[in-house]
Amino acid sequence: MKAAATTPPTDLGTPPLDPSWVDEVLLRGAGAEPCLFLDEPVSRDELRRLVGARQATLSAAGLRRGGSVALCLAPSLALVANLLAAWRIGAQAALLDHRLTPFETDRALARLEPQVVVSAAQPVGSGPARGFYEQQDVVTARPGRPARSSHAVVQLSSGSTGPSKIIGRTAADLVAELDRYARIDGVPRAGERIVSLASMVHVLGLVGGLLHSLHAGVRLAIPRRPTADGILATVAAGPEPTTLLGVPFHIELLSWVTEPPRLPQLTGMTTGGELVRAQVHDAFVDRYGIRLGSMYGMTEVGVIATDLFGAHRPELTPAPGITLRSVDGELLIAREQSPYLDHDPSDATAATRWADGWLRTKDGGAVDPDTGRVRVLGRLDSQVSIGGLKVDLTEVEHTLAALPEVAAAVVVFGTSIEAYVVPRDTGATSARIEAQLTERLAAYKRPRLIHLVDRLPRTATGKLVRDRTALSGAGRPPQTPTAQ
């Protein structure tokens, strides 16, 4: 780990960030006990030593309290150490996903204007995907700007339905979320283990995985290979009661295992992200015999509502301290301040997404007035009008994905409803798929165009991309269903 010989930044951000929370909330605890499991276990003493070393290197590059740093690292011990070191200095840390292209990374850095950038000495190659990497980092000072707010972490939204938004969260907000986790029934406690499949540069893996584990004394393990065999081998490697943390993609991946090994330590799985189709949920629970819980959240807020035992599916209970309401079919969350940091005056995101203490989720949903539980109905932009009739594209997509000949599907709307389908075998045709849909969906809901593709693009967090431009080059020529 080395610092590049460039001119360090000198101006300081305002207001400065109080760094004391890092040691008080995240790094306290018995020193010899392992807290992270990558290739080798990492004790708290070793983690504190690594954080101290990275703190010295970042300080030598000119990072100061109130400064700004961007971390362009893959999930790794280097990422963890640099993030905690930046917070220990009192700097604002922006997390950029290592899977971004150089063009996307440069564009993000131009928007963020950090004073220091930490990147990998050797970029991740094109080999098989990994859950974590061994990375040698390079610290480079640049003529950026100090933090323009008191936010501790800056993240980019997933961009699954549009351009990424710049989102900031304060240390107090992160600590409050950790407190919510501590009060949710079913969340792993001290002495238990989380096997995290969610990237730690995004909110589920960052707070629900890394930060909660450090705060609560939970052992955090990350599979080297994010394959079904790699995940199950990581579960088998420890005796502690273990919860898997991932997204629906991981549920489907594990559901393909016909005869999973006996894993008595595996007690449950928690999934965030998109809604889990009922068919996938039931198949997973039947195969593994464990609870499959749901967690609803946003990058802007973190965890919002949960049903970690599947007791109220498809309803969820708001997390402690979260106030929700439904207005015109949209879920709103009480937030004192806007989480958006976009400084482009032409960007109206903050004005349209947050106002008068309420954050618009852009998710459809309803809150039961008697129980207070919430039912999330999917993205509002998935609701379209066909000939004056309302169609929920999420319903069409789930129905299509549940067909026996379909492995995965995305449904979008342009001038008409279109479907992008990954078939289970090479003999599948749009006519056969359409015939099955005829029994399940009214004519006005059915896709007018079906594209058979070999794969569907996903965001860095594993969410399916629903942008027609990204989907258009996915594979085979489109096939038009029979006339309706």
pLDDT at 483 over 90: no
Average pLDDT of 251-265?
91
- Output the pLDDT for position 360: 93
Percent of the chain with pLDDT over 70: 89
Superfamily of domain 2-320+335-345: ANL, N-terminal domain (3.40.50.12780)
Give pLDDT tens digits for 142-171. 999 999 999 999 998 755 444 578 999 999
What are the tens digits of pLDDT across the range 354-401? Answer: 888 999 998 889 999 999 999 998 777 777 777 666 788 888 888 898
- Euclidean distance between CA atoms 473 and 94, whole angstroms: 31
Hey, where are the domains in the chain? 2-320+335-345, 387-479
Q: Distance from CA of residue 408 to its chain's centroid?
A: 20
Out of 28-42, 131-145, 270-284, 363-377, which region has the weakest mean confidence (pLDDT)?
Answer: 270-284
Amino acid identity of residue 333, one-letter, is I
The pLDDT of residue 426: 77
* The pLDDT of residue 180 is above 60: yes
Q: What pLDDT shows up at residue 271?
A: 93
Q: What is the pLDDT of residue 6?
A: 39
Position 391 scores a pLDDT of 82
Give me the pLDDT at residue 158, please.
Answer: 59
User: Could you tell me which residues come within 8 angstroms of residue 175 by beta carbon, excluding any fewer than 6 positions away?
Assistant: 21, 25
How far apart, in whole angstroms, are the C-alpha atoms of residue 106 and residue 147?
Answer: 19
pTM metric for this prediction? 0.81
Give the pLDDT band (50/70/90) at residue 7.
very low
Domain spanning 387-479, CATH class: alpha beta
Residue 1 — very low, low, confident or very high, per pLDDT cuts 50/70/90? very low
- Res 479 pLDDT > 60: no
pLDDT of residue 386: 79
Question: Quick one: average pLDDT of 99-110?
Answer: 86
Looking at residue 343, its pLDDT comes to 54
**pLDDT value at residue 369:** 93
Of the candidate ranges 13-17, 67-71, 106-110, 390-394, the one whose mean pLDDT is the lowest: 13-17
Give CA angle at 325 (324, 330), nearest 5°: 110
pLDDT band at 237 (very low <50, low <70, confident <90, very high): very high
In this predicted structure, what is the pLDDT of residue 392?
80
